[in-house]
């Protein structure tokens, strides 16, 4: 079975969803440590003057706090409302804004109990809008070997518990994963090769690596086709 294991991020980019769509199972790696000022709680959209960074406020947490236990700061609701206001202002003239605005707005106006409840809700929402039906599980659901400290061995353990025989991993992981452990565990590992596709955007020259929300509001029903266009297996 082909699997994808990714940390949950806020309003992910196109390549994130390409990986989910390509897999038989998507496991959200939610028991790893939260990293401040990372994609765990930030992402970018395109505005009239270029990139706009959207960042979700997080409660101060002790070192080594897992993502699944990372809480949103008091008043996070106002931040999410402001994020939607910024998105609405930036994309009001996008071709598919009217089609998606109300349902996307409802996501930003909802209440969330933690960072992962927020990010995973958005990931599931965008999968649904794109037409991606890959089953989604959380790594925290699996009974993993807590004595393992090596990063690669932890992933191998998770793959074995989830019956993943072929792991489709992010390109950046190639530098930190020890392939020997995967060979020993009889797990094939394939790293993503993604040529970012261009598509219709507002405000001049094309900017890659924006949140999936940029693609959805500009291209609507064609979004998944465009996501897959960048696939280079």
Coil, strand or helix at 6: strand
Alpha-carbon gap, residue 231 to 225, rounded angstroms:
10
Q: What percent of the chain has pLDDT over 90?
A: 79
Alpha-carbon gap, residue 138 to 114, rounded angstroms:
15
Coil, strand or helix at 137: strand
Alpha-carbon gap, residue 88 to 14, rounded angstroms:
20
Mean pLDDT, the chain, rounded, equals: 94
Quickly count: other Cβ atoms within 10 Å of residue 213's Cβ: 25
**pLDDT class of 167 with cuts at 50, 70, 90:** very high
Alpha-carbon gap, residue 6 to 26, rounded angstroms:
8
How confident is the model over 177-207, as pLDDT tens digits?
Answer: 888 888 999 999 999 999 999 999 999 999 9
How confident is the model over 199-233, as pLDDT tens digits?
Answer: 999 999 999 999 999 999 999 999 999 999 999 86
Confidence (pTM): 0.94
Alpha-carbon gap, residue 192 to 21, rounded angstroms:
12
Helix H, strand E, coil C: the string for 20-51 is: HHHCCEEEECCCCECCCCCCCCEEEEEECCEE
Query: Which segment of 28-42, 83-97, 123-137 scores lowest on mean pLDDT?
Result: 28-42
**pLDDT class of 150 with cuts at 50, 70, 90:** confident
Q: What is the pLDDT of residue 21?
A: 97
Q: What is the pLDDT of residue 173?
A: 79
Q: What is the pLDDT of residue 64?
A: 81
Q: What is the pLDDT of residue 225?
A: 97
pLDDT of 88 strictly over 90: yes
Alpha-carbon gap, residue 89 to 203, rounded angstroms:
13
Q: Which residue has the tokens 């349902």?
A: 103
**pLDDT class of 165 with cuts at 50, 70, 90:** very high
Q: What is the pLDDT of residue 65?
A: 85
Q: What is the pLDDT of residue 57?
A: 96
In this structure, are residues 9 and 211 in contact, taking their beta carbons and an 8 Å threshold? no
> 126 — alpha (psi -120 to 50), left (phi > 0) or beta?
alpha
How confident is the model over 35-62, as pLDDT tens digits?
Answer: 888 999 999 999 999 999 999 999 988 8
pLDDT of 133 strictly over 80: yes
Alpha-carbon gap, residue 58 to 55, rounded angstroms:
9
Kindly calculate the radius of gyration of the chain based on its CA atoms and give it in whole angstroms.
Answer: 18
pLDDT of 171 strictly over 90: no
């Amino acid at each position: 079975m082909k699997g994808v294991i990714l940390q949950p991020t806020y309003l992910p980019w196109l390549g994130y969803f390409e990986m989910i769509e390509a897999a038989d199972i998507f496991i959200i790696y939610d028991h790893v440590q939260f990293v401040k000022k990372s994609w765990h709680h930030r992402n970018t959209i395109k505005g009239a003057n270029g990139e706009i960074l959207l960042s979700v406020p997080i409660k101060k947490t002790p070192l080594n706090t897992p993502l699944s236990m990372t809480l949103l700061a008091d008043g996070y609701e106002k931040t999410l409302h402001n994020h939607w206001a910024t998105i609405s202002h930036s994309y009001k003239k996008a071709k598919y804004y009217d089609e998606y605005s109300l349902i996307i707005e409802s996501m930003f106006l909802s209440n969330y109990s933690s960072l992962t409840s927020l990010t995973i809700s958005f990931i599931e929402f965008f999968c649904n809008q794109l037409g991606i039906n890959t089953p989604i599980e959380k790594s925290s659901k699996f009974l993993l070997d807590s004595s393992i400290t090596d990063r690669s061995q932890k992933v191998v353990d998770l793959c074995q518990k989830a019956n993943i025989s072929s792991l489709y991993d992010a390109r950046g992981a190639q530098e930190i994963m020890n392939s020997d452990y995967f060979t020993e565990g009889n797990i094939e590992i394939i790293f993503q090769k993604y040529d970012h596709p261009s598509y219709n955007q507002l405000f001049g020259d094309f900017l890659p690596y924006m949140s999936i929300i940029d693609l959805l509001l500009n291209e609507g029903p064609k979004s998944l086709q465009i996501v897959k266009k960048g696939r280079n297996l």
